[in-house]
Chains A and B, each alone.
Chain A
Amino acid sequence: MVLDYFLRRLGLLFFMMLTLSIFTFSLSYLFPGDALSNLSGISNTSFSQTSELQEKYHFNENYVSQYFAFLERISSGDWGLSFASGDNVFNHIVDLFPATLELSLYALIISVIVGVPAGIIASAYYKKWPDKLINSSTLAGYSMPVFWLALLLIMVFSLQLGWFPMSGRMGLLYEIPPDTGFILIDIALAGFPYSGMAMIDAVHHLTLPTIVLAMYPTTVLIRFTRESMLNVLEQNFIKTARAKGLNRAQLIVHHALRNALLPVIKQIGLQFSTLITLAMITEVIFSWPGVGRWLIDSIYQRDYPAIQGGLLAVSMFVILATIIAELTYTLFDPLSRNQAHGKV
């Protein structure tokens, strides 16, 4: 049963990756300009270079063999050269992706720590003042454009109060060798005398972007948790438990939470895709050296190989995160493996 489900999910993953790769491949034809230079990242070639490239990219053959050549190159890490830097796109992505991932991860952790308990409190005090307070502030946070929030926080905390720096990842005083790409881990690994100070500096730089990025997923999680809790609290087994004389705390902790938090787990995983998109905007505002800012810059510069590679990497990550979220959800909740279960 479980195996069957896993195989079906894997099939879906395969199908998604296939479509994604075909789409990415066709992008080099969809983008303006010469398809060969869009693929390779080398423009203004001489005659001999052109024929060499045509040979390498199977350019004189049909689209199918071109596509397979494309797949082969993608899997071997040859993603073409960036127009802007002349460097391999894959190396850029490997350098930049950890920064985005780090930011998104911390934002996700914060949104879970704040969002889920807030949702539970709101549902426990349904239609009383804590619920109303949480609900209205959630609605406000939900409607707040992320870039405006970022600018407001910069105006207050960086320009007026001067508590936090407004851009970058690290003070210029410190030079951290990028081993893992995760700045906090790198600082701990580097182990130089002032690593404590460097750590504080890095956390200072992280604070504002993380808050900005965490805002939207937090509100989504609050709303979702509250909704899910309210649904469960309406069920008959809760009424039975209440009739048996359980108090509200027992009711919520022992009976409601276990059932209500299952769908929340899935929702947490699904937040990753939203986070990566919002991270693009956040990175642009806070000059965070991540893959999102690089992708937006590539669009400004019409750097087609870079756009292509960036999109492939980001979408692949989003799809993987979604599938993994669904799989973990099924591990926890046997009912969801087969929708036909339990239905009359």
Chain B
Amino acid sequence: MAKFNLFSEESNKSPLARFWRKFKSNHPALVGLWVFIAFVLLATTAPFLAPYGVNQQHSDALLIPPSWHDLGDVRFILGTDDLGRDVLSRLMNGATYTFGLSVIAALITTVIGVLVGTFAGISRGLRSSFLNHLLDITLSIPSLLLAIIIIAILGPGLMNTVWAIILALLPQFIHSVRNLIVEELNKDYITAFKLDGASNWHVLSRGIFPNIYEHIVVIFTMALSTAILDIAALGFLKLGAQPPTTEWGAILAENLGLIYLAPWTVGLPGVLLFLAVLSTNLVGDGLRQVLKERKAD
């Protein structure tokens, strides 16, 4: 039901401008966006920003606590691990693996997912029924389990993890895109467009995609947060990145034996992981909120 807006001011800004204006007013989401951008920058420039090399060992400084601790050393702001490696540098470089690779995995998933999802959305009859049944099966298996199955076939390793995660994220993505397309196809303006003689390609490129690309961004953020969690979980289970790779989950697993001696080597990678996922979720939630509000207008 349309809601009355008593003090309506004519606002004829473009959808994107209105989108940004609404998003800006949601402060947690905005903070999430800034953190997200910071992670992207860190992931691309970490080797230049980090104070020490990833595998550079300081034999005079083993297991030094973070610098705010009484025994800390200001040379190593977040302390060192049992091999005398600077935790800060390792964590900064970890952004490239955990966060950067997740973004790449989510982007590849988006490209493939949109293509296959569109195909599934516009196909009819037996082909569509077969695709949907196949999707139903894989959808009921959680992405991490699917990734573990694929790892079991491919063998452990970082690149295999990325492939496994892409394959594991795809069913959910295809399903969501397909639903979006089917929903949009049933609307009257598309029917009118078709009656005007528009081809399938025209319907998709002019009619549907301009209306759903924002939703695809939301699905992308969901895929991204799952990808980060899965990459780290597989790294933690020693099925993904192998130490000395600085993937956050792998760092955590590597330092598990130090949990009593040096809790910061276990706690800090988790904090970064948490922040990365949290910022992604904040942005995603913010976007979804805006889409919902704009629809209500």
Contacts and interface: CB of A to CB of B under 8 A. Distances in A.
B153 A139 contact: no
A152 B140 contact: no
Given A143-B274, A315-B141, A281 B266 contact: no
Contacts of B144: 277-278, 280
A276 to B, nearest CB: 7
Contact of B145 (A140, A299, A318): A318
Contact of A276 (B134, B145, B229, B273): B145
Interface stretch (A11-19, A172-180, A248-256): A11-19
B263 A144 contact: no
Q: Name the residue among A32, A143, A151, A311 with the largest chain B CB count within 10 angstroms.
A: A143
Nearest to A311: B149
A145 B273 contact: yes
Contacts of A32: 155
Contacts of A145: 229, 232-233, 236, 249, 270, 273-274, 277
Interface string A119-160: 000000000000000001001101111111001101100010
Interface stretch (B5-13, B85-93, B199-207, B278-286): B278-286
A227 B206 CA distance: 32
B152 A274 contact: no
B239 interface: yes
B145 A300 contact: no
Contacts of A299: 148, 151-152, 156, 239
Contact of A151 (B141, B266, B282): B266
Contacts of B270: 145, 148, 151-152
A48 interface: no
A154 B156 CA distance: 27
Nearest to A284: B237
Contacts of B282: 139
Nearest to B28: A136
Nearest to B143: A277
A274 B145 CA distance: 9
B278 A12 contact: no
B233 A146 contact: yes
Interface in A55-82: none
A234 to B, nearest CB: 9
B260 interface: yes
B237 A139 contact: no
A322 interface: yes
Given A151-B270, A154-B259, A315 B151 contact: no
B136 A12 contact: yes
The number of chain A residues touching the other chain, given as a range, is 35 or more
B180 interface: no
A123 to B, nearest CB: 15
B263 A143 contact: no
Contact of A147 (B149, B152, B233): B233
A151 B259 contact: yes
B271 to A, nearest CB: 8
B192 interface: no
B22 interface: no
Contact of B252 (A15, A144, A147, A155): A147
A80 to B, nearest CB: 15
Given A12-B136, A273-B142, A140 B238 contact: no
A16 B137 contact: yes
Contact of A143 (B155, B266, B281): B281
Contacts of B142: 273-274, 276-277, 318
A314 interface: yes
A93 interface: no
Q: Name the residue among A146, A151, A307 with the largest chain B CB count within 10 angstroms.
A: A151
B222 to A, nearest CB: 11
B259 A27 contact: no
Contacts of A16: 136-137, 140
Top-8 shortest CB links A-B: A148-B270, A143-B278, A143-B277, A322-B140, A277-B142, A277-B145, A277-B144, A16-B137
Interface of B: 1, 28, 133-134, 136-137, 140-142, 144-145, 148-149, 151-153, 155-156, 225, 229, 232-233, 236-239, 249, 252, 256, 259-260, 263, 266-267, 269-270, 273-274, 277-278, 280-282, 285
24 contacts: A12-B136, A15-B137, A16-B136, A19-B134, A30-B153, A143-B225, A143-B274, A143-B278, A144-B274, A145-B233, A145-B236, A146-B233, A148-B270, A148-B274, A154-B259, A273-B145, A274-B142, A276-B142, A277-B148, A281-B237, A296-B148, A300-B238, A311-B152, A322-B140
